[in-house]
Amino acid sequence: MTVVNARARAGRDHARMSLELVCPAGTLPALRAAVDHGADAVYIGFRGATNARNFPGLNFGAAEAEAGIAYAHERGARVFVALNVYPSPANWPLATATIDCAARLGADALILADPGLLRYAADHHPTLRLHLSVQGSATNWRALELYRREFGIQRAVLPRVLSVAQVSRLIGRTAVEIEVFGFGSLCVMVEGRCALSSYATGHSPNSQGVCSPAHAVRWEETPDGRQSRLNGILIDRYAPGEAAGYPTLCKGRFRVNDAVFHALEEPTSLNALDVLPSLAACGVKAIKVEGRQRSPAYVGEVTRLLRRALDLCADSRRGATGDWTPPPDLLAALDALAEGRTHTLGALHRPWQ
C-alpha cells in the first residue's frame, strides 16, 4: 500500500493545478483507503436516514467518524459529512442532531440539500463550511446564488446534467466553488428531482436516501433466463451467459413502441477523464468520485487511479502543448471497476443528451 504522507501531499499540492480529489467512504476502512491512496477529501455519512447512501451495514457512528476525521487530518486530508436527504418532520430532530454531531467532531464541511437544514446549520454553526449537495439540484448560477445569499454555501456539487460548456459558463457567473462528478455510477436523472424509485418501491433518494433499494429486489431463475424485479416490477431479463447487473430501475430494459432496449440508460459508469483539462481550465474546483456503498478495496483502487490521472493531467497542462489523452492502461483499469465495465462522459458530452 502506498501511504501518502502529509509532507508529500503538501509538496504535490504546491506543484499541481488545483483540482481536488474528493472520494467516498461508507466505512472507516474505506476512509483510510481513500486517504492512503491520495484523496484530498473524503465524504462520509452517518447511520440512519440522513444521507443519500442509507444502506444496511454502511455509514459511520460518532466514534468511527471521530476516528476517521482524526486519521484524515493527521495525513493532511479533509472530511466532509453528507446529510443530503430532505428530512420529513419525523426525521427532523435526527437530522439537526447529526449536524450538531458533525460540527462537534470537527468535520471540514457539511454537504446538505434541504434549505431548512442549510438554515439550521448556518444559524447554529456559522463557522462550518457548507456545501450544496448534488441532491440540492442546482443546475444554474441563479439557483447557486440563492443558496449562497441565503445560507452562505461555499461549494456546490453539480447534478450530472450539464455539458462542459455549460459548466464553464455557470462558473463565470457564481462565486460558489464547483465540484463535479468524475467517476462512478451515473445518475441519468437530475439528482434531487427523481421520484422513480419511490414510485416503484415507496423509497426514494430525497426521502429515505435510497434508490432501487435492495429490500425491494427479487431475482428469479426462469426458462427465459434470469430476471430481476423491483417491488414486483420486471426491470430486466438476462439471457444465459449474459452479465446481470443490479436492477437500478433507470438501467433496466423496457418496451417502448415495439422495441425492447435500455430506454433510459445502459448500465455504464461516468468517467470524465477525457475532459479533465477542460474542467480544470474552466475553474472547476474539485472532482468527486461516487460510491460510498463500495468496498475499501474498490475505493482505494479508484482513488489511486484518479490521483494518478489528476497528477498526469496537471503535468500535461504545465507542458508546452497542453495535449491530453488519458493513458489507455488507466482507462482500462477504471473500466474494469466500472458498472457494465464500460464508461461514458454522460451529459458532459452533448451528444449523450
Q: Which long-range contacts (CB under 8 A, 24 or more apart) does 340-343 make?
A: 340/245, 340/266, 340/267, 340/268, 340/269, 341/243, 342/266, 342/268, 342/269, 343/268, 343/269, 343/270, 343/271
CB nearer other proteins, residue 45 or residue 68: 45
Q: Is 199 in the site for other proteins (CB under 8 A)?
A: yes
Site string for other proteins, 159-188 (x = CB under 8 A): -xxx---x--x------------------x
CB of 256 to other proteins, least distance (A): 5
Q: How many residues bind other proteins (CB under 8 A)?
A: 66
> Cα–Cα distance between 216 and 275 in angstroms, integer?
37
CB of 287 to other proteins, least distance (A): 19
Residue type, 114: D
Q: Which of 6, 146, 214, 297 binds other proteins (CB under 8 A)?
A: 146
Q: How far apart are CA 27 and CA 268, in angstroms?
A: 25
Q: What cell does 108 get? A: 471540514
Alpha-carbon gap, residue 25 to 317, rounded angstroms: 30
Interface pick for other proteins out of 56, 57, 89, 241 (rule CB under 8 A): 89
Count CA within 13 A, CB hemisphere, residue 342. 9
Containing H/E element for 63? helix 62-74
Residues 257-316 that bind other proteins (CB under 8 A): 257, 259-260, 263-265
Stretches 19-27, 276-284, 335-343, 345-353: which one binds other proteins (CB under 8 A)?
A: 345-353
Regarding 254 and contact with other proteins (CB under 8 A), the answer is yes
Question: Residues, the chain, total?
Answer: 353
Taking the mean position of all CA atoms in its chain, how far away is CA 323?
A: 28
- Figure out which of the listed residues 17, 233, 281, 330 binds other proteins, where binding follows CB under 8 A: 233
Pick the closer one to other proteins by CB: 4 or 49.
49
Instruction: Please say whether the beta carbons of 318 and 83 come within 8 A.
Output: no
Contact residue for other proteins among 104, 124, 193, 318 (CB under 8 A)? 193
Nearest distance from residue 157's CB to other proteins, in Å? 15
Look at the block and give the residue holding cell 468520485.
289
Kindly state the smallest distance separating residue 123's Cβ from other proteins, in Å. Answer: 10
- Cα 95 to Cα 101: distance, rounded to the nearest angstrom: 10
User: Residues with Cβ < 8 Å from 293, sequence gap 6 or more?
Assistant: 26, 53, 55, 58
Please identify which residue in 42, 65, 196, 286 interacts with other proteins, judged by CB under 8 A: 196
Please report how close the Cβ of residue 182 comes to other proteins at its closest, in angstroms.
17
Span 40-79, contacts to other proteins by CB under 8 A: none
Q: How far apart are CA 99 and CA 81, in angstroms?
A: 9
Of 29, 76, 115, 326, the one binding other proteins by CB under 8 A: 115
Q: Which residues bind other proteins (CB under 8 A)?
A: 86-89, 92, 113-117, 119-120, 137-143, 145-147, 149-150, 160-162, 166, 169, 188-190, 192-196, 198-202, 204, 206-207, 231, 233-237, 253-257, 259-260, 263-265, 347, 350-353
